[in-house]
Structure 1
Amino acid sequence: MFVSAILLLVGILSSIRVLEFTAAQTQVVGICYGVNGNNLPSKQEVVDLYKSKGIPRMRIYSPDEETLQALRGSNIELTMDVTGETLQSLTDPNVATDWVHRYVTSYSQDVNFKYIVVGNEVHPNYDVAPYILPAMTNIQNAISSANLQTKVSTAIDTTLVTDSYPPNNGVFTADASPYIGPIINFLVNNGAPLLANVYPYFAYVNNQQDISLPYALFTQQGTNDIGYQNLFDAMLDSIYAALEKIGAPNLEIVVSESGWPSAGGDGALVDNARIYYYNLLNHANGEIGTPKRPGRPIQTFLFAMFDENQKPGAETERHFGLFNPDKSSKY
């Protein structure tokens, strides 16, 4: 009886997947660092946590100079957003040049800037939509003038794509096409990727009749009738299909956010979140790719470093963290 109990315990422990950040697991993965909380560690402590956990990439949502100072010499690859309030001003080339000098050039000797993100999930009917492409153009010109290799892009959400099932039918919506088309041309001409925030969680909770939890969590056995094992790949490939239809079949997509909440809504459980992040880590770093883009890793940012207790919106928005405010791992 004792031996049987021990064997049972060993079996249970071996089946528990612990979320770790090994060098192999973080080959192409980063973590988004949001700061909408009043209980978070200092910027220097956060950078030190990234370093101690071997997390090689960070996305921040504003050019925060305290974070930039903390990143000096860290070799962490940085993706940095432009704050929405400054978008209109950056349509002035001189203002854009000053912005690049203050937040990029001044730190470029010892901060590793990868992407500048101009607009996060901006829709064509938003007030700031007309400013996105001019601001992208001006910032890229200023970066090029400074002889830096940083690329400028924008981050979209998947609602700009319709007819996404099967993924090959994906196409940008009628409203989105006139907005996104010139932006895509800009990215192609500058050799920059499109950034996309991809959340199987929201697709699942909004359509539980047609989408199973295993399909959303990467735990479905085998592929479905359209050849997909998981929802993440299907959502990503629907964007690739939309890019093909708009004349950009070779444009790369970087997944700039993807995560699963641990509380606050349907399916938002610690176990589900742990399973999702673990499987996404391994899938993104593997050589499987997606059915439309097979055989290569998927550049992906997990969302997010911490729960953000002051983030507005639904309760789930405050429970995406991988780490607790005391810097211990949630999973």
Structure 2
Amino acid sequence: MAKQHLQNSSFFILFILSHSFYSSKSQSFIGVNYGQVADNLPPPATTANLLRSTSIGKIRLYGADPSILKALSNTGISITIGTSNGEISSLASDPTVANQWISSNVLPFYPSSNIALITVGNEVLTSGDRNLISQIFPAMQNLQNALASVSLAGKIKISTVHSMAVLKQSEPPSGGSFDSEFGDSMKQMLGFLQDTGSPFAINPYPFFAYRGDPRPETLAFCLFQKNAGRFDAGTKITYTNMFDAQVDAIRSALNAMGFKDVEIVVAETGWPYKGDSNEVGVSVDNAKAYNSNLVSHLRSKVGTPLMPGKSVDTYLFALYDEDLKPGPTSERSFGLYKPDLTMTYDIGLSKNGDMSPATPSPSTGKPTGWCMPKADLSDSQLQVNLDYACGQGIDCSQIQPGGTCFMPNTLKSHAAYAMNLLYQTAGQNPWNCDFSQTASLTSSNPSYGPCTYPGGS
């Protein structure tokens, strides 16, 4: 069953890619968190210019800083703003406070600043504050009514953000269920989200999962690297990465409560590149692997096993380091960019990077050969390689229906073509044919019939 699922999904990836991936350099499902617990951040206008140079389509603020909202006007970037946990009580108890919040933080900026979502607090249900938990739903209602009073209900959504700790069970993904401790509050919120068409926002961090289980195979599972996968007996699906498993656990929990139409948004996910000596898994290599492989996974639009064919809107954490945050060094080391706008590491977000469809370069005359998957690869690893290669902007149209290399319609054949095409267009260097040590160069031309693999000498 797992092989059948994976092979069928390869066809779906390529179909989706042909219809939507190449349509734009900006990708609406890739977002970033813009925290401000720092004293060294560049001016908002400078940040707005940085964002314009990337494929980031969404940004999440933890408040509603007017200087940032002004700087983001007319950029087209979708903006999430938020209330603090400390504001929830007054918003819940007094509708006039909610009206004033909308008047101060939305009306002066919308629609030139593309505010799309307001998050009411952050991880309230798992805060342990029962009084605050009881107030989250009334606060959301009052803000919704305030939006309706100025004809913005439906144009701007209201939600709140949860940690993965709202789940009582997350493994296997098909058994995902919410903790009954949140019973009435969760039902009220989910009913609100369903009625208003608003998303369920969640913060999955495979990094924390690895920190609790620091085995090499867990690290590979968390980083989208080669691994044996984890079999879900409930669905007969083998999961090849932790991100999909965590998001599908939320999907299962929503479905179990009867809210199958409530969509999921990943409000935060990331990996720290630096930490204290006692923090496991913290390195630039791991942070780059997680974020770049996640971006490639999102770009492939394969989705998750329970939500195939679309990418969940995902906000990477974070745009910058926040040097004033308390706690271990890792808390201050999630930034994709430095305050001087240089990249901490490159995950392919630049519009001038790997976003443009590439075409095979003319042969240089050197014996470059062809890049092929190793013979013993599992379907799950072939799927990962296919997702990654086609997610880098190469032209995978020849392995779509009607393409000269579509037949044979097998995962191995499609992955081989895509991997070789990426190798040929990325520079024909040995490291371009690595794929986490699952590929190698060959001098035997794999072309057949009408299908020509670029390469050779």
TM-score (norm 2): 0.65
Aligned to 1:35, the other structure's residue is in SS state coil
| Residue 262 (str. 1) matches residue 273 (str. 2) | yes
* 1:298 alignment counterpart: 312
* 1:252 alignment counterpart: 263
| Residue 286 (str. 1) matches residue 297 (str. 2) | no
* 1:38 alignment counterpart: 39
Check conservation: 1:58, 1:78, Cα contact below 8 A.
yes
What aligned pairs does 1:1-331 form with structure 2 within 5 A after superposition?
23-24=24-25, 26-91=27-92, 92-123=94-125, 125-126=128-129, 127-148=131-152, 149-209=155-215, 212-221=218-227, 223-226=229-232, 227-264=238-275, 265-331=279-345
| Distance apart, 1:279 and its partner CA | 0.8
| Distance apart, 1:25 and its partner CA | 7.1
Separation (CA, whole Å) in 1 of partners of 2:193 and 2:266: 15
Aligned to 2:33, the other structure's residue is in SS state strand
Check conservation: 2:85, 2:124, Cα contact below 8 A.
no
Check conservation: 1:220, 1:230, Cα contact below 8 A.
no
| Distance apart, 1:161 and its partner CA | 0.4
Separation (CA, whole Å) in 2 of partners of 1:330 and 1:210: 25
Letter paired with 2:123: E
Higher Cα Rg: structure 1 or 2? Answer: 2
Check conservation: 2:45, 2:68, Cα contact below 8 A.
yes
Report the CA distance shift for 1:287/1:38 in structure 2 as closer, same or farther (over 3 A). Answer: same
Aligned to 2:27, the other structure's residue is in SS state coil
For the aligned residue pairs, the C-alpha RMSD in angstroms reads 1.7
* 2:348 alignment counterpart: none
Check conservation: 1:56, 1:76, Cα contact below 8 A.
yes
Report the CA distance shift for 1:27/1:56 in structure 2 as closer, same or farther (over 3 A). Answer: closer
Aligned to 1:105, the other structure's residue is in SS state coil
| Distance apart, 1:31 and its partner CA | 0.6
Letter paired with 1:87: I
* 1:9 alignment counterpart: none
Separation (CA, whole Å) in 1 of partners of 2:90 and 2:65: 18
Aligned to 1:212, the other structure's residue is in SS state helix
| Distance apart, 1:246 and its partner CA | 1.4
TM-score (norm 1): 0.89
| Distance apart, 1:177 and its partner CA | 2.5
Aligned length: 310
Separation (CA, whole Å) in 2 of partners of 1:282 and 1:120: 28
Letter paired with 1:49: L
| Distance apart, 1:250 and its partner CA | 2.0
| Distance apart, 1:203 and its partner CA | 0.9
| Distance apart, 1:50 and its partner CA | 0.9
| Distance apart, 1:181 and its partner CA | 1.5
| Distance apart, 1:117 and its partner CA | 0.2
Aligned to 2:307, the other structure's residue is in SS state coil
| Distance apart, 1:45 and its partner CA | 1.3
Separation (CA, whole Å) in 2 of partners of 1:25 and 1:207: 36
Separation (CA, whole Å) in 2 of partners of 1:102 and 1:211: 50
| Distance apart, 1:315 and its partner CA | 2.0
Letter paired with 1:273: A
Aligned to 2:304, the other structure's residue is in SS state coil
| Distance apart, 1:281 and its partner CA | 0.8
| Distance apart, 1:211 and its partner CA | 5.9
State the identity %: 36
| Distance apart, 1:43 and its partner CA | 1.6
Letter paired with 1:233: D
Which sits farther off after the overlay, 214-223 or 145-154?
Answer: 214-223
For residues 238-294 of structure 1, give each alpha carbon's deviation from its aligned partner in whole angstroms, at most 9, with x where no partner exists: 111111121212210000111000011211100110111111111123221111111
Report the CA distance shift for 1:208/1:221 in structure 2 as closer, same or farther (over 3 A). Answer: closer
Q: 5+ unaligned residues in a row in structure 2: which ranges? A: 1-22, 233-237, 346-457
Check conservation: 1:204, 1:211, Cα contact below 8 A.
no
Check conservation: 1:32, 1:305, Cα contact below 8 A.
yes
For residues 96-154 of structure 1, give each alpha carbon's deviation from its aligned partner in whole angstroms, at most 9, with x where no partner exists: 01110111122113110111000111125324222211111111111122222000001
Check conservation: 1:116, 1:150, Cα contact below 8 A.
yes
Q: 5+ unaligned residues in a row in structure 1: which ranges? A: 1-21
| Distance apart, 1:89 and its partner CA | 1.1
